[in-house]
Amino acid sequence: MSALSQKHLLGLKHLLKSDIDLIFKTADNFKEVLQRPIKKVPSLRDITIANLFFEDSTRTRISFELAEKRLSADTINFSSSGSAIKKGETLLDTVRNILAMKVDMIVMRHSSSGAADFLSQNIEASIINAGDGTHEHPTQGLLDGYSVREKLGELKGLNFLIIGDIKHSRVAGSDIPLMLKMGAKVKVCGPPTLIPKYIEELGVSYEPNLKKALEWCNVANVLRIQLERMDIKFIPSLREYSLFYGINRELLNSVKKNITIMHPGPVNRGVELNSNVADSKQSIILQQVENGVAIRMAVLYLLANRN
Ligand code: CP
């Protein structure tokens, strides 16, 4: 198959395994481009992409913008602060007005789960979800899978652990379907209050004991506690969370396995992850960020060429 089955990238639960394989293969080609002295190709010349960020971002926003520039697309960047949203304009009106200026594709981050899905039902242009509330962050899931594949060869048969605030995590929302579709086993670990009630119905197991969970896994993806998405308290304190679920060097040394450590960022050092792990050879955090550009180039290229 040489075209994606979907017109939009709203979430990884909608993708087929063949879509993910195609994105990874295309990203391999773009990764090679990114090693060249001239890191730019004309693939999306004459395509205009709007990056709409209604919520804060460092990595995703810069990574999409770089990916678009490396593909020679024209880009416009929008953030809700300083926009007519403050004057009461709706999301749909905002996007329809931007598209009226001959924009071809939309990349959108939004604090509301389902915002990208809602847009996709009301406009013609392709939409890439750059993270919506607690729902999905599909390009993060893709770059996570791609980075594990690069480090360990293949995802099939791997034991993939996600630690922390699973309930509020759109990264977990995308990593889980990706890993399961690619043949990995998935386990989650964290305080019971931060684990979705029906997690096992997704084919994911739960282990409350961090040491036991680490002994099971090949790869551990460590998540941040997402206080900005909590209306009420789910843990007594960050200090207590860190004592029971923080990853530090002593704990990792006590597990006699070479576990690959991941984190989607931003890292709260000393809470979920200590610096002596985050900055160690076991960590692939910066490789994840590097691979994000090639993955986003692949997604943009495949969606633009499908249309
Ligand atoms: N991983 C991630 O989404 O980071 P940003 O919030 O900085 O984009």
* Residue-wise pLDDT tens digits, 14-59: 999 999 999 999 999 999 999 999 999 999 999 999 999 999 999 9
* Residue-wise pLDDT tens digits, 96-123: 999 999 999 999 999 999 999 999 999 9
Order of strands across the sheet that contains 185-189: 205-206, 185-189, 159-163, 219-222, 260-262
Q: Residue 25 in contact with residue 187, Cβ under 8 Å? A: no
Regarding whether 171 and 125 lie in a shared domain, the answer is: no
What is the distance between the alpha carbons of residues 280 and 259, in angstroms, rounded to a whole number?
Answer: 12
Whether 3 is covered by a domain: the verdict is no
Q: How confident is the model at residue 2 (pLDDT cuts 50, 70, 90)?
A: confident
Which of 52, 59, 79, 111 for a ligand 1 pocket mutation test, highest count of atoms within 8 Å of Cβ? 59
Average per-residue pLDDT for the chain: 96
Q: Residue 34 in contact with residue 66, Cβ under 8 Å? A: no
Q: What is the predicted pLDDT for the residue at 226? A: 81
Q: Distance from the CA of 256 to the center of ligand 1, in angstroms?
A: 31
219 pLDDT higher than 90: yes
* Residue-wise pLDDT tens digits, 44-54: 999 999 999 99
Q: Distance from the CA of 62 to the center of ligand 1, in angstroms?
A: 9
Domain residues for the domain of 200 are 138-288
Burial zone of 290 (CB within 10 Å; 0-12 exposed, 13-18 middle, 19+ buried): middle
58 in contact with ligand 1, CB cutoff 6 A: yes
Q: How confident is the model at residue 229 (pLDDT cuts 50, 70, 90)?
A: confident
User: For ligand 1, what atom is nearest to the CA of residue 61?
Assistant: 8
Whether 1 is covered by a domain: the verdict is no
Helix, coil or strand: residue 158: coil
Q: Distance from the CA of 7 to the center of ligand 1, in angstroms?
A: 24
Place of tokens 């993270």: 131
Q: Distance from the CA of 204 to the center of ligand 1, in angstroms?
A: 24
Regarding whether 222 and 190 lie in a shared domain, the answer is: yes
In this structure, the residue with its CA closest to atom 6 of ligand 1 is 57
Total count of domains within the chain: 2
Q: What is the predicted pLDDT for the residue at 1? A: 56
What is the distance between the alpha carbons of residues 300 and 108, in angstroms, rounded to a whole number?
Answer: 13
Regarding whether 159 and 98 lie in a shared domain, the answer is: no
Regarding whether 99 and 149 lie in a shared domain, the answer is: no
Percentage of residues of the chain with pLDDT beyond 90: 91
Q: What is the mean pLDDT of residues 276-299?
A: 98
User: For ligand 1, what atom is nearest to the CA of residue 131?
Assistant: 3
Regarding whether 108 and 17 lie in a shared domain, the answer is: yes
User: For ligand 1, what atom is nearest to the CA of residue 264?
Assistant: 1
Q: Residue 47 in contact with residue 104, Cβ under 8 Å? A: yes
* Residue-wise pLDDT tens digits, 123-158: 999 999 999 999 999 999 999 999 999 999 999 999
- Give CA angle at 251 (245, 256), nearest 5°: 130
Regarding whether 257 and 196 lie in a shared domain, the answer is: yes
What is the distance between the alpha carbons of residues 171 and 143, in angstroms, rounded to a whole number?
Answer: 11
Regarding whether 49 and 28 lie in a shared domain, the answer is: yes
227 pLDDT higher than 90: no
Whether 104 is covered by a domain: the verdict is yes
265 in contact with ligand 1, CB cutoff 6 A: yes
In this structure, the residue with its CA closest to atom 5 of ligand 1 is 57
Provide the whole-model pTM.
0.96
Which of 57, 61, 134, 135 for a ligand 1 pocket mutation test, highest count of atoms within 8 Å of Cβ? 57
Contacts of 114 (CB under 8 A, 6+ apart): 132, 133, 135
Regarding whether 150 and 275 lie in a shared domain, the answer is: yes
232 pLDDT higher than 90: no
Q: How confident is the model at residue 72 (pLDDT cuts 50, 70, 90)?
A: very high
Regarding whether 127 and 103 lie in a shared domain, the answer is: yes
Q: Distance from the CA of 254 to the center of ligand 1, in angstroms?
A: 31
User: For ligand 1, what atom is nearest to the CA of residue 140?
Assistant: 1
Buried b (16+ CB within 10 A) or exposed e, 83-103: eebeeeeebeebbeebbeeeb
* Residue-wise pLDDT tens digits, 150-195: 999 999 999 999 999 999 999 999 999 999 999 999 999 999 999 9
226 in contact with ligand 1, CB cutoff 6 A: no
CATH of the domain at 204: 3.40.50.1370
Q: Distance from the CA of 65 to the center of ligand 1, in angstroms?
A: 13
The amino acid sitting at 167 is K
